[in-house]
Amino acid sequence: MSGSASLSQKIKWQAEVLAYDALRLLLCWLPIDAISWLGGALFRLIGPMTSKQHIVTTGLRTAFPDRNARQIRRMAAAQWDNTGRTFAEFMFIGRLRMGDRVTLSGQEHFEAIKKSGKAAVLVGGHFANWEMLNVALSHSGLKMRITYRPLNNPYFDAKIRKQRADFGVDLMTAKSGPRGAKELMVALKEGWSVGIMNDQKFNEGIEVDFFGVPAMTAPGPTRLALNTGSLFVPMNVVRTRGAHFHATVYPAIKLPRTGDRHAKIRAGTEAITAWVEDRIREHPDQWFWSHRRWDKNHYHKTKDR
């Protein structure tokens, strides 16, 4: 990718990496709790002034129609705090490790995967600092491949992959396109479990209801589990306080194994979408609301109050 880029584009990419490194150098002497707090404070200040605020409040009103305007603003402010903390923490992700910063419940479901002799499609969403799911998976004892979407900046992408490798996530597969799907299928058939996010808009997906509003949703994780006979296991992480987290592994979702193929895929996609809804209801301020989950028209017809 970088080989075909223009000189000006390469310079821009390198400048972005230099700015990132400079910020890390500026903050590196601070404890991770202070870095997390600063990120949250900055986003609480700037977030409401950006165009993303409308996306955030529209999403919150859609999911929580019973909340008044003041409650929606408070929830929006809290989610900006979480988002800012997440981005700040990522620069020093190696400091967030199992035990002192990340705890886990549901280890028995990891053990059940091992005993079954099957691979698993482990699905999650963009909650709290979702990178902590990778921390938990790196200590699961499973043969794992973690999916990722390569960044447009190849120099930045290489740096981010290295940071993930610092806490044990160094086997990753691009999840988009036919090549990524084929690699995932092969990995599952060879006994590797794969971790995939399944909570964002996917234009080439299928339409299922998300908080009562149709939303294009990726059927790929369900299809992978059905096609390979793998277990379909959801995971989530919540921010308990500051830069401390708790990850949970849930019982496998039972997918229909007989009947029409398209109906089975839809049923699984609806099941994981309903699971995401439940997690949002539990911690509405910890989901990544600045992502446009529904069609653009849904946001155009909704005005902030």
pLDDT value, residue 257? 82
pLDDT value, residue 282? 97
Q: What is the pLDDT along the chain (305 residues), one digit of tens a residue?
A: 556 788 888 899 999 889 989 999 999 999 999 999 999 999 999 999 999 999 999 999 999 999 999 999 999 999 999 999 999 999 998 899 888 899 999 999 999 999 999 999 999 999 999 999 988 998 898 988 888 777 788 888 888 877 777 666 555 666 556 666 788 888 899 999 999 999 999 999 999 999 999 999 999 999 999 999 999 999 999 999 999 999 999 999 999 888 899 999 999 999 999 999 999 999 999 999 999 999 999 998 766 55
pLDDT value, residue 305? 52
pLDDT value, residue 22? 93
Ramachandran class of 142: left when φ > 0, alpha when ψ lies in -120 to 50, beta otherwise: beta
pLDDT value, residue 6? 86
Tell me the CATH architecture of domain 2-300: 3-Layer(aba) Sandwich (3.40)
pLDDT value, residue 284? 97
Is 0.85 topped by the overall pTM?
Answer: yes
